[in-house]
């Protein structure tokens, strides 16, 4: 019996060794084949077999990759999976129907209402300013998509941000081993035994649960006759006839819309406040415009009708999305669907090409004093083109479809904040830009102080914004 056990052990070891040897041989042969067929950019030195997998940090990737780019060149090689196809086009089309420029008239009443609520919250609960930004941006898009508002105690609001916070880091290079070894995803073994799927599956299930809950809530309101018309009521009504999407696909359409319309605005406002606290010189010029339009004695709040008379505020919107990239410092990786060539390099289908938003935004070759928050840089003939002069909304076919809605959110919030409040650094905790801010929904990213500009401005907020801040999420 002991002899047989020894034989079995030797056979197992031999089999394992054969598998490892075969895999290493395949990696080497495949690498040689690809190098002969294609011309890759120069590689950053890494470890045998695993390459750069364990070199890239999970946080602050933008500055890290910027330094690598300065040392080795701007183009890198990396493998990851992110297909483009019919499902992406279908969802993009639906998002365009909700978020395109022609829909701004639908958003403006909600942006007006929620920005008033934001001003009131900054006045009465200034210590929760960072939470108020999240509530503002989420409530605008929730109103349009689901016909409901949100407040600080809304569990749906908290759950949405929690899923976003978990999801974004998981899309970054190095978050999963299949980023470096895509073939692992095709190994014919039970999915539950594939450890690289565990975290992704958990995020997927939790996200689906949150948005299924929103759909269930909407349908209960419909049956009770209390649901307001919104995008999802129209989609569900259409789907009752056409059957183009499953219920889970409808839930993820809602996921996409809410993520596109909330998190980026929240993070951008965090950046605006940081930039204002650190580089306040632009505020005087912006307030000169605001005081001329709305009155030096806090006569009224700025509105969307004032947009043409407030060029400095419009420029601050563009500077905000340029100055500090939101969500993903290095862009979201996307795979080539076919062989392609760029600047003399030949790249195979499946290669993921991403761009370092952080490096571009902080390049002295692109911008004068790139670390400075300086809206004046956008006071030019392209001021009306919200996506021109920066890559804050992405590029190409995947450019943010809701850029005009996002710009509207930022314009009305920044205009009213700058008009009504002084924003100051906490002397004991100065804001710095030596690394990206930890942009999470429930943690204060830095210390700032909001103070009404004057007693007249305080009264203006109480007079015009108090009612907007009375939010009943059950209504």
Give me the DSSP letters along 245-290: S-HHHHHHHHHHHHHHHHHHHHHHHHHHHHHHHH-THHHHHHHHHH
Fold of the domain spanning 38-469? Cytochrome p450 (1.10.630)
Q: What is the pLDDT of residue 267?
A: 86
Count other C-beta atoms under 10 Å from residue 389's C-beta. Answer: 18
Lowest-pLDDT range, 58-72, 120-134, 135-149, 447-461? 58-72
- Is it the case that residue 4 has pLDDT exceeding 80? no
Higher pLDDT, 410 or 45: 410
Copy the structure tokens of residue 78: 């990396």
- In the chain, what percentage of residues exceed pLDDT 90? 34
Residue 93: strand, helix, or coil: helix
The pTM of this model reads 0.78
Q: Predicted confidence band at 69 (pLDDT cuts at 50, 70, 90)?
A: very low
- Is it the case that residue 188 has pLDDT exceeding 90? no
Copy the structure tokens of residue 359: 């490096």
pLDDT digits (tens, 9 = 90+) for 274-291: 999 999 999 999 999 999
- Is it the case that residue 410 has pLDDT exceeding 80? yes
- Is it the case that residue 263 has pLDDT exceeding 90? no
Q: Which of 146, 103, 170, 189 is nearest to 333 (CA)?
A: 170
- Taking the C-alpha atoms of residue 237 and residue 381, their distance in angstroms, rounded to an integer, is 44
H-helix segments, 295-430: 311-323, 357-361, 403-420
- In the chain, what percentage of residues exceed pLDDT 70? 70
- Contact of 446 with 440, CB cutoff 8 Å: no
Check whether 400 is labelled as a binding-site residue.
yes
Q: Predicted confidence band at 424 (pLDDT cuts at 50, 70, 90)?
A: very high
H-helix segments, 125-154: 129-146
Q: What is the pLDDT of residue 330?
A: 63
Where along the chain do its domains lie? 38-469
Q: What is the pLDDT of residue 79?
A: 25
- Taking the C-alpha atoms of residue 132 and residue 7, their distance in angstroms, rounded to an integer, is 68
Average pLDDT, the chain: 79
Q: Which residues of 97-120 are buried (b: 16+ CB within 10 A; e: fewer)?
A: ebbeeebeeebbebbbbbbbbbbb
- Contact of 406 with 261, CB cutoff 8 Å: yes
- Is it the case that residue 318 has pLDDT exceeding 60? yes
Q: Which DSSP letter does residue 39 get?
A: B
């Amino acid at each position: 019996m002991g002899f047989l056990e020894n034989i079995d052990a030797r056979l197992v070891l031999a089999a394992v060794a054969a598998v490892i040897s075969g895999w290493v041989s395949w990696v080497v042969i495949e690498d040689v084949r690809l190098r002969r067929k294609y011309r890759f950019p120069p590689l950053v030195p890494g470890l045998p077999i695993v390459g750069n997998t364990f070199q890239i940090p999970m946080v602050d990737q933008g500055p890290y990759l910027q330094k690598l780019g300065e040392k080795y060149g701007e183009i890198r090689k990396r493998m990851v999976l992110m297909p483009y196809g019919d499902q992406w086009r279908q969802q993009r089309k639906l998002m365009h129907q909700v978020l395109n420029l022609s829909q701004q008239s639908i958003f403006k009443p909600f942006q007006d209402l929620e920005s008033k609520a934001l001003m009131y919250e900054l006045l009465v609960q200034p210590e929760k300013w960072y939470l108020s930004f999240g509530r503002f941006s989420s409530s605008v898009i929730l109103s349009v998509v689901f016909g409901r508002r949100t407040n600080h105690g809304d569990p749906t609001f908290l759950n949405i941000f929690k899923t976003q916070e978990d999801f974004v880091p998981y899309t970054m290079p190095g978050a999963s081993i299949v980023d470096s070894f895509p073939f692992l995803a095709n190994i014919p073994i039970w999915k539950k035994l594939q450890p690289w799927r565990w975290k992704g599956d958990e995020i997927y299930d939790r996200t689906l649960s949150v948005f299924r809950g929103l759909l269930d809530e909407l349908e209960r309101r419909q049956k009770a006759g209390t649901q307001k018309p919104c995008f999802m009521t129209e989609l569900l009504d259409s789907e009752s006839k056409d059957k183009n999407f499953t219920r889970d696909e409808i839930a993820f359409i809602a996921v996409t819309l809410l993520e596109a319309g909330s998190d980026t605005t929240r993070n951008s406002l965090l950046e605006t406040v940081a930039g204002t606290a650190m580089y306040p010189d632009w505020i005087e010029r912006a307030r000169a415009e605001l005081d001329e339009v709305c009155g030096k004695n806090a006569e009224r709040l700025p509105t969307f009708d004032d947009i043409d008379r407030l060029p400095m505020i419009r420029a601050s919107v563009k500077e905000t999305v340029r100055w500090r990239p939101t969500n993903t410092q290095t862009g979201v990786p996307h795979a080539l669907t076919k062989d392609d060539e760029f600047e003399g390099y030949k790249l195979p289908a499946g290669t993921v090409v991403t761009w370092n938003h952080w490096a571009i935004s902080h390049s002295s070759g692109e911008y004068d004093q790139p670390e400075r928050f300086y809206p004046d840089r956008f006071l030019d003939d392209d001021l009306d083109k919200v996506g021109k002069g920066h890559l804050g909304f992405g590029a190409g076919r995947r450019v943010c479809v809701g850029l005009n809605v996002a710009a509207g959110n930022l314009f009305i919030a920044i205009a009213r904040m700058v008009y009504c409040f002084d924003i100051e650094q906490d002397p004991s905790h100065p804001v710095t830009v030596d690394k990206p801010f930890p942009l999470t929904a429930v943690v204060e990213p830095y210390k700032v102080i909001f103070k009404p500009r004057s007693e007249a401005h305080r009264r203006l907020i109480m007079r015009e914004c108090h009612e907007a801040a009375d939010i009943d999420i059950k209504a």
